[in-house]
Amino acid sequence: MSRIGKHPIEVPDGVNVDISDVRVSAKGKLGELTAPVAKEVEVTREGNLIWVKPRDESKRARQMWGTVRSVVNNVVVGVHEGFTRRLEINGVGYRAQMQGTDLVLQLGFSHEVRYPAPDGITIECPDQTHITIKGASKQLVGHVASEIRGFRPPEPYKGKGIKYENEEILRKEGKKK
């Protein structure tokens, strides 16, 4: 029995949800998103609640029950509130700034790294060592954050690099004499 799937999804005011057999579409103040629906589950709406239920008792239906519920919930929350990921930059001379819609990173390479913000994503730099990524799609926000982190992941000896705000870095001891 899915512990996630048995909870309904509450649709907030200002969000329009259209449900068909193959997809769920949500439209809100932050845009419009769609989510695919697996054929093993059934999505219904009762008032301002969306229920996800398996069509039968097969293993695949039980697996997809919680997955589809989470994806549909992310779509509804995304168009209403949006998602945010924050990154921190550690290292002497490492910094970030915005130039138009491009994120310009100086990470100790011989050149600066330019990252153009994709459609639907807003990148902000409140200061030179912090990056905030905002958007309606949870998947796209996480993907952009991981691409930016991938330019210079944190290293274990001094902790230099780009890390998620809440990420713990396992530090190693240096060489001994």
Domain boundaries, the chain: 9-80, 83-164
* Model confidence band, residue 21 (pLDDT cutoffs 50, 70, 90): confident
- Per residue in 38-82, pLDDT (tens digit) is 999 999 999 999 999 999 999 999 999 999 999 999 999 999 999
What's the rounded mean pLDDT across residues 19-27?
Answer: 92
Tokens (6 digits) for 18: 């259209």
112: which strand partners?
none
Q: Residue count of the chain, please give it.
A: 177
Domains 9-80 and 83-164 share a fold: yes
Q: Which fold has domain 9-80?
A: Outer Surface Protein A; domain 3 (3.90.930)
Tokens (6 digits) for 48: 């301002």
* Model confidence band, residue 1 (pLDDT cutoffs 50, 70, 90): low
CATH class of 83-164: alpha beta
Per-residue DSSP letters for the chain? Answer: --TTTTSPEE--TT-EEEE-SSEEEEEETTEEEEEE--TTEEEEEETTEEEEEESSS-HHHHHHHHHHHHHHHHHHHHHHT-EEEEEEEESTT-EEEEETTEEEEE-SSSS-EEEEPPTTEEEEEEETTEEEEEES-HHHHHHHHHHHHHTSPPPTTT--EEEETTPPP--------
- Per residue in 90-117, pLDDT (tens digit) is 999 999 999 999 999 999 999 999 999 9
* Model confidence band, residue 3 (pLDDT cutoffs 50, 70, 90): confident
User: 138 pLDDT exceeds 80?
Assistant: yes
Residue 175: predicted pLDDT: 86
**In this structure, are residues 69 and 5 in contact, taking their beta carbons and an 8 Å threshold?**
yes
**In this structure, are residues 112 and 101 in contact, taking their beta carbons and an 8 Å threshold?**
no
113: which strand partners?
105
User: 158 pLDDT exceeds 80?
Assistant: yes
- Per residue in 24-38, pLDDT (tens digit) is 999 999 999 999 999
